[in-house]
Structure 1
């Protein structure tokens, strides 16, 4: 194969290269799908050579096999979730053609991101090469979770993150550190997502991304209660609430408490809420 063939968009049977490029056409994201690990590695090497890219400028975030499932081909149009996630990062999804999957049952994928994109996603301040610019504002956490890489989520808001994860993701809530370390060291065909209230427990492990979901604001907290109780809840009720109580679990707990008070003591929901807030914050 001529080196330049790797860059020509065409129909393919062994491997396809998907990239995310910024407005300056800098390659910030690379994903290879291939029929074998050996072919994936070879295609990645050929692509880097053809584009004049340096492997040291990129970070490996995911690799392994995955089932083809009901997919017939891999194209930029078929990768809608990836395209959306990259768009949130200010990147366009391009490819070197269409990979047809006739007779293929499993694929091997390799995913890399540039050090500048990695730093942007992780929210870390690092020195960047002068010729590269920021890829845009930080994406929403939901978009980062959909990228399908190993992720540590410090979830202080209590939001349900499961709906934003790829179907093959393994979600673990407050797992033993030893189990996570073993999983991250293994060859896998799925991303590991660890959800915790204390990210320091896992800070020494090599996650591709760390996502932090802060506690709800008093306005968000009261809005959630208003929606669930069907009454207007004043945010000032929660001005003295500690941040660790401003989460979705406590929203649900307060709703259950209000409903129990209304049913037991036959009072209006507004009065039940006042009592529920005192019990929830101060106890008896």
Structure 2
């Protein structure tokens, strides 16, 4: 494959290059699929040379073998989840053709992101989300997890992360640091997602994606609980709640507790809430 050939869209049987470009045609994301590691390296080098790109401007965020499975080809149309994830970042998915997978069981892949995109993803927080009184949908920043990159999420909000992950991702909650080091340094064909409530614990480790989800505000917590219970809840019950209790998982737990008390105790909404809050805080 010549330097010029690597840019020409055509049918391929050895390697394909998928890229994410912004509206100015800057290459912000690169993924190479190839029948071997050697061909993947060669294809990536030829692509850099042909596009006049500098390897130092990109970070290698994922590499390793990947099972072909039921796929017959790889093209932009078969990479729907990747295309959607890039679109949410303002990028368009392009490729240099179609890679046919006949008689191929495993592929080798490299995934790289530009320093610009890396810094953008790593620095995004949920500031705008925390200003909302009602959480009606997915946290926008968590869409970055669908890119298939290793990530660490300080999840003080109690968001369920599994719905944002690629199918082959490994989600670990509060794993030992030694285990994370072992996984990050080894060769894998899946992204690692670490969920924690203490980001400092993993501070020495480098993740392409670092997300921080702050606790709910008292107003958000109250709004979520009111929605689940079907009646308005006074926010004063939660003014003294510790931040670590102001999360979506505790909202669900408290809602179940309130409903159970209402069924068995026959108390008024006010009395039930006061009792439920005390039980939830361990004050009885």
TM-score normalised by L of structure 1: 0.90
Match of 1:214 in 2: 214
Equivalences, count: 270
Distance across 2 between alignment mates of 1:251 and 1:173: 20
Match of 1:19 in 2: 19
Match of 1:128 in 2: none
Match of 2:64 in 1: 64
The alignment partner of 1:64 has SS state of strand
Moved over 6 A (4+): none
Match of 1:49 in 2: 49
Deviation at 1:249, TM superposition (A): 2.2
Q: Deviation per CA, 1:198-239, whole angstroms, max 9, x where unpaired?
A: 011111112111111111222321222123222222334323
Instruction: Say whether the 8 Å CA contact 1:231–1:270 is kept in structure 2.
Output: no
Distance across 2 between alignment mates of 1:234 and 1:83: 43
In structure 2, list runs of 5 or more residues that go unmatched: 125-138
Distance across 1 between alignment mates of 2:269 and 2:94: 54
Match of 1:247 in 2: 247
Deviation at 1:281, TM superposition (A): 4.2
Match of 1:132 in 2: none
Match of 1:183 in 2: 183
Q: Which residues in structure 2 correspond to 1:1-284 (within 5 Å)?
A: 1-123=1-123, 140-281=140-281, 283-284=283-284
Instruction: Say whether the 8 Å CA contact 1:72–1:102 is kept in structure 2.
Output: yes
Instruction: Say whether the 8 Å CA contact 1:33–1:108 is kept in structure 2.
Output: yes
Instruction: Say whether the 8 Å CA contact 2:170–2:192 is kept in structure 1.
Output: yes
Q: Deviation per CA, 1:14-38, whole angstroms, max 9, x where unpaired?
A: 1110011111111111000111111
The alignment partner of 1:30 has SS state of strand
Deviation at 1:155, TM superposition (A): 0.5
Distance across 1 between alignment mates of 2:80 and 2:237: 43
Distance across 2 between alignment mates of 1:192 and 1:176: 14
Distance across 1 between alignment mates of 2:234 and 2:39: 60
Q: Deviation per CA, 1:105-143, whole angstroms, max 9, x where unpaired?
A: 11111000011110000008xxxxxxxxxxxxxx92221
The alignment partner of 2:4 has SS state of helix
Distance across 2 between alignment mates of 1:243 and 1:83: 37
In structure 1, list runs of 5 or more residues that go unmatched: 125-138
Distance across 2 between alignment mates of 1:34 and 1:270: 63
Cα RMSD over matched residues?
A: 1.7
Match of 2:130 in 1: none
The alignment partner of 1:226 has SS state of helix
Q: Deviation per CA, 1:240-261, whole angstroms, max 9, x where unpaired?
A: 3232111022112212321332
Q: Deviation per CA, 1:34-85, whole angstroms, max 9, x where unpaired?
A: 1111111110000000001110110000000111111111111111111111
